[in-house]
Amino acid sequence: MSNIAIQIDHLSKMYRLGVINNGVLFRDIQTWIALKRGKEDPHSRIGENKYNGDKDHFWALKDLTLDIKQGDRLGIIGKNGAGKSTLLKILSRITAPTEGTVKIKGKIASLLEVGTGFHGELTGRENIYLNGAILGMRKRQIDEKLDSIIDFCGIEQHIDTPVKRYSSGMYVRLAFAVAAHLDSDILIADEVLAVGDAEFQKKALGKMQDLSTAEGRTVLFVSHNMGAVEKLCNCGILLDKGELKFNSVIKETIEKYVMEQDLSPQESLAEIKKRDGNGILRFTKIEFIDNNNIIRDTFKTGEDLVIKLFFEYTAEIEKCINSQIDIGINDSFNIRVSWLSTSIYTDKFDFKKKYICFKIKKLLLMEGIYNFNLYCDTNLGLADYMVNVCKLKIIFDDFWGTGRRTSSDNLGYYVPDFELE
C-alpha cells in the first residue's frame, strides 16, 4: 500500500427493507462465514442489474473504488442518503460490506455520533477514561493526556459533573477532545461539529488540520457545512445514491456538488396565484443574465449579474405619485441577506417599458441557493407581493485572488452596487 492509508476496492453495501438479515439463521451463518473469509456473500444478488435494487433491497454503496493517501484530509460530501455514513461505518468496522474489500494501514479513531460510549451517570473525567478505553487507549496514556484533553474541551468547571447534565455542545466537546488526542493514524469524523458553537468549530478544525499536517495523520471528514469542509480538507469525493460521482481536490469537488443541486423549474410569475396586492401592477417574468447576454440560473461569486424583471400594469398605475419595486434576496434558511430597490433611482424608473433591469456589479454572495421575494408598493396601496418565486445558485470563486474562495468568511447582509436600466 506504500503511502496509501486506506484502499477501497469495489465496495458495496446492500440493506434489506422491512426485514433483518436473510430471514433464515442458516443463511445468516453462511453470509457471516463468507464475509469473514473475504469472499462474496452467497446470498447477495448477482448480474449486471444487481445495483438497481428492488422492493425488498437497496444499495447504500455501489461498487466504490478509492485510494486515500496517508496525511490526506478527505472531505466526503453528498446529499442525505448518499452513503456517507455507511462508508464511514464500514471503515470503522461497525458494519461489514456486502461486497468488496477495504485495506487499512494503521489505527482508526472514529467519532460518528456525539457521546457514543458515554455513560450518563459517570462524570466527564470518568467518561474520558471510559471513552479512551473504548477507543483503545491504555490508562497510562490517558493519564498523560488528561490535562490536555480537559483543557481542549473547555469544560474544566464541569469535568466532575455527571454527563447526563451536559448539553449537547458539552457532549461533543468532550467526545471530540478524547478522539483527537488518541494516538491513531486515521481520524474519522461524521457531522461532529453540527452542535458545536463557532469558537469550538474553529478550534476543532484547527486541531484536525494540525493532526494531518504536523503529525501526518489521515482525516476523513463528513459535513454539510461546505465552509468547514473547504477550510479543513485538501481533497474530496462526491457520493450520490451510493456511487462515487467525483473525486478531486476539495475546491473542484464542492463546486461540482453545488452545481449539481437541482433548482426547481421556474414557474411563470404570471401564473402564480399565491400573491398579495391590488393588481394594478403584476410581475410576469424574471431573468438572470450574464455579461454575454445569456440567461443562467448559476453564477460565481464576483460575477456581474443583471436581474431583468418583467411586469404588466393597468391604467391605475398612472395615477400613482410614489411607487417602488423591491427585490429581497434570502438564503436557504429564509434569512434576508440582500435587498434591491428602485427607491434610490426614482428618476430612472419607467413603467412604460414593462420591465426593469437591476445591473449588479460583482455580486458578493456566498455559495448556496438563494430565494427571491418581489414587492411593488404605491401610494394607492400594495400592488404585488410574491415570496420565494425563483432561485439563484451561487458557487465559490477566487474573486479576491488569494488562492482561496470566499467561503472562508460570512459576507453577511449587504446592499449590492447596482444601477437601474
Instruction: Output the average pLDDT for the chain.
Output: 81
Q: Which of 339, 319, 353 is nearest to 418 (CA)?
A: 339
Q: What is the mean pLDDT of residues 115-124?
A: 80
pLDDT digits (tens, 9 = 90+) for 126-184: 988 887 787 777 888 889 989 998 988 888 889 999 988 988 778 888 888 887 887 78
pLDDT digits (tens, 9 = 90+) for 60-96: 899 999 999 998 999 999 888 889 989 999 998 888 8
The letter for the amino acid at 139 is K
Residue 275 has pLDDT above 70, yes or no: yes
Q: What is the DSSP string of 353-410?
A: GSEEEEEESS----SEEEEEEEEEEETTEEEEEEEEEEEEEEE---TTSSSS-GGGS-
So what's the pLDDT on residue 102?
92
So what's the pLDDT on residue 373?
93
Residue 59 has pLDDT above 90, yes or no: no
What is the DSSP pairing of strand 218-222 with strand 73-77? parallel
pLDDT digits (tens, 9 = 90+) for 291-349: 999 998 889 888 999 999 999 988 887 777 778 899 999 887 678 888 898 886 655 56
Cα separation, 72 vs 417, whole angstroms: 40
Residues 6+ positions from 331 with CB-CB distance below 8 Å:
337, 368, 370, 371
Cα separation, 325 vs 337, whole angstroms: 17
Q: What is the mean pLDDT of residues 202-228?
A: 83
Residue 352 has pLDDT above 80, yes or no: no
Cα separation, 192 vs 113, whole angstroms: 7
Which DSSP symbol is given to 50?
G
Q: How confident is the model at residue 409 (pLDDT cuts 50, 70, 90)?
A: very low
Residue 26 has pLDDT above 50, yes or no: yes
pTM of this prediction? 0.65
Q: What is the mean pLDDT of residues 252-261?
A: 77
Q: How confident is the model at residue 103 (pLDDT cuts 50, 70, 90)?
A: very high
Could you name the CATH architecture of 4-259? 3-Layer(aba) Sandwich (3.40)
Cα separation, 340 vs 374, whole angstroms: 10
pLDDT digits (tens, 9 = 90+) for 199-213: 777 788 888 888 888
Q: Evaluate whether 196 touches 170 at the Cβ level (below 8 Å).
A: no
Q: Which of 393, 383, 160, 156 is nearest to 282 (CA)?
A: 383
Q: What is the mean pLDDT of residues 109-121?
A: 74
Residue 124 has pLDDT above 80, yes or no: yes
Which DSSP symbol is given to 56?
T
Q: How confident is the model at residue 24 (pLDDT cuts 50, 70, 90)?
A: low
Residues of the chain with CATH 2.70.50.60: 269-420
So what's the pLDDT on residue 345?
65
So what's the pLDDT on residue 248?
92
Q: What is the DSSP string of 342-367?
A: GGG-GGG--GGGSEEEEEESS----S
Q: What percent of the chain has pLDDT over 70?
A: 81
So what's the pLDDT on residue 20?
45
Residues of the chain with CATH 3.40.50.300: 4-259
Q: How confident is the model at residue 413 (pLDDT cuts 50, 70, 90)?
A: low
Could you name the CATH architecture of 269-420? Distorted Sandwich (2.70)
